[in-house]
Amino acid sequence: MSALANKNQKKELKEVKKFNLRKYREYNKMMRKKRVPESEYLTKMKNPENIIEFDNLQSYFYTDVGTVKAVDGVSFDIPRGKTIGVVGESGCGKSVTSLSIMRLLQGPQGQIAGGEIRFNQQSTGRVLNLAKASIKEMEKIRGNEISMIFQEPMTTLNPVFTIGDQLCECISLHNPQMNKKDVEQRALETLKMVGIVREGILKNYPHELSGGMRQRVVIAMALACDPQLVIADEPTTALDVTIQAQILDLLRELKNKINASIMLITHDLGVVAEMADYVVVMYAGRVVEQGTADDIFHHPAHPYTIGLMKSRPMLNQKVDRLYSIPGNVPNPVNLPAHCYFKNRCESCVEACSGAYPAMISLSETHKVSCHLHREAGAAVRQAGGAKKQTGGKQNVQ
């Protein structure tokens, strides 16, 4: 490396550090704030039928190599009582989106840099922008109204405490009025709900249970307080297929029982097809397509979604090798100005070298961010966006 290039690199690094330090200070100042006036985070839903509305959410990590734009302008809704499947390649920002709802990004590096996460709080009738809500509000919401099931149960369960200690602590924390006996009773009822009726289970340690049972305990903890929204981040990836099917049945059953909404994050398109009412496809920190499960599975419009659908194993098709999308995701620190999928796309047109494609409505429920569909989008706009368009969609079976 020449001396000049070396000097420039050092200068750039210094600037990144200076910028990050400013961001860390801003974050620490915000965290130290004892009182956040309600006017700073109370807002209105666009549609009161939704429980969550992401509106241009930006969640960044300020690292030594630059700003990682993990989630960069994500907008989608989670309707009450419905299941939303979130799919996309590893590293596309699925977990960061869900952690942003809970405000569990690893600060000060990880921060919500912009946008709103509107939460329709049933218990108070208020709408809170979770991106700005006070920590006190968040503590009331976490586990109580919104709960999370993580992929690996051992990251949630503490190996040195019994199942009873952990489940009872979770219940009594959210129901301080309950006495010890009632809490234990509630813990047993919740375990029964997830199919665990074992004598002395409350005295067992996590290592004394099977993987499937541990995941059920985690689900029991997530459901102990009848949440309005359950975020399940790869809840079945670590489990074998029989247990996986049981856990999915359980989630479905419980969703109907308590009319909760589910945000289901998974790589498994089969699970999404089985569970989701709506599907959101993410790529490199952005939503590239969204619609009903039928829209996405039977009429995928974005070349990335089409590739994803082609890469599924199909029962009635015999192939030597499954299709895989060639190329790699762009570096989240240095994202291009044009479509992020351009370097892997087989359907590129001239416009693809221009500005990043806007989100286009193909129907009332189906949206895509791709230059190929500009005409179909314009036709929908002309028709008032009411009629379902079939032009511009491709069937992939």
Q: For residue 351, what is the DSSP state?
A: G
C-alpha to C-alpha distance for 5 and 165, rounded to whole angstroms: 58
Shortest Cβ distance from residue 229 to ligand ATP (Å)?
18
Q: By CB under 5 A, is residue 172 in contact with Mg ion?
A: no
Under the binding rule (CB under 6 A), the answer on residue 70 touching ligand ATP is: yes
We find the least distance from the C-beta atom of residue 83 to Mg ion, in angstroms, to be 18
Pairing, β 360-361 against β 127-129:
unpaired
Query: Is residue 204 near ligand ATP by the rule CB under 6 A?
Result: no
Instruction: Select 222 or 339, whichever has its Cβ closest to ligand SF4.
Output: 339
Q: What is the DSSP letter of 234?
A: S
Contact pick of 52, 57, 66, 94 for ligand ATP (by CB under 6 A): 94
Q: Is 363 in the site for Mg ion (CB under 5 A)?
A: no
Q: Is 93 near ligand ATP (CB under 6 A)?
A: yes
Among 58, 95, 100, 120, the residue binding ligand ATP under the rule CB under 6 A is 95
Whole-number Å distance between alpha carbons of 302 and 311: 14
Please tell me what DSSP assigns to residue 315.
Answer: T
Helix axes 211-223, 241-258, angle to 10 degrees: 10
Residue 120: how many other CB atoms lie within 10 Å: 21
Residues 90-129 close enough to bind Mg ion by CB under 5 A:
95
Q: CB nearer to Mg ion: give 58 or 190.
A: 58
CA atoms of 383 and 147, how far apart (whole Å): 41
Give the tokens for residue 98.
């869900």
Contacts with ligand ATP, 316-345, as mask; x by CB under 6 A: ----------------x-------------
**Does the footprint of ligand ATP cover residue 68 (CB under 6 A)?**
yes
Alpha helices in the chain (DSSP H): 3-32, 94-102, 135-141, 153-156, 163-174, 180-193, 211-223, 241-258, 269-275, 293-298, 303-310, 374-382
- 72 three-state secondary structure: strand
Map the footprint of ligand ATP across residues 208-267, applying CB under 6 A.
Answer: none
Minimal distance, residue 311 CB to ligand ATP, in Å: 15
329 binds ligand SF4 (CB under 6 A): no
In the bound complex, what is the minimum distance in angstroms from residue 362's beta carbon to ligand SF4? 13
- Sheet arrangement for strand 360-361: 146-149, 229-233, 261-265, 83-88, 278-283, 286-292, 367-368, 360-361
Q: Which among ligand SF4, ligand ATP, Mg ion, none contacts residue 90 (Cβ within 5 to 8 A by kind)?
A: ligand ATP
First to last CA, the chain: 51
Judged by CB under 6 A, the chain residues 289 through 308 that form the site for ligand SF4 are 302-303
Q: Does 352 bind ligand SF4 (CB under 6 A)?
A: yes
341 binds ligand SF4 (CB under 6 A): yes
DSSP string, 306-374: HHHHHTS--TT---SS-----S-PPPTTS--SS-TTGGG-SS--GGGGSSPPPPEESSSS-EE--GGGH
Residue 371 interacts with ligand SF4 (CB under 6 A): yes or no: yes
| Nearest alpha carbon to residue 288 among 308, 263, 268 | 308
Provide the sign of the torsion angle of the four alpha carbons 21, 26, 29, 31, taken in this order.
negative
Q: Does 236 bind Mg ion (CB under 5 A)?
A: no
Would you call 287 helix, strand, or coil by DSSP?
Answer: strand
For position 369 contacting Mg ion by CB under 5 A, the verdict is no
Q: Considering the complex, what minimum distance in angstroms separates the CB of residue 218 from ligand ATP?
A: 17
Nearest distance from C-beta of residue 168 to ligand SF4, angstroms: 51
Minimum CB distance to ligand SF4 smaller for 243 or for 351? 351
Q: Is 270 helix (H, G, I), strand (E, B) or coil?
A: helix
| Least distance CB 95 / Mg ion (angstroms) | 3
Residue from 80, 126, 312, 342 that binds ligand SF4 (CB under 6 A)? 342
Token pair for 162: 């019994």
Q: How far is the CB of 397 from ligand ATP (least distance, A)?
A: 26
Per CB under 6 A, residues contacting ligand ATP are 61, 63, 68, 70, 88, 90-96, 106, 109-110, 332
Per CB under 6 A, residues contacting ligand SF4 are 302-303, 339, 341-342, 345, 347-349, 352, 357, 370-372
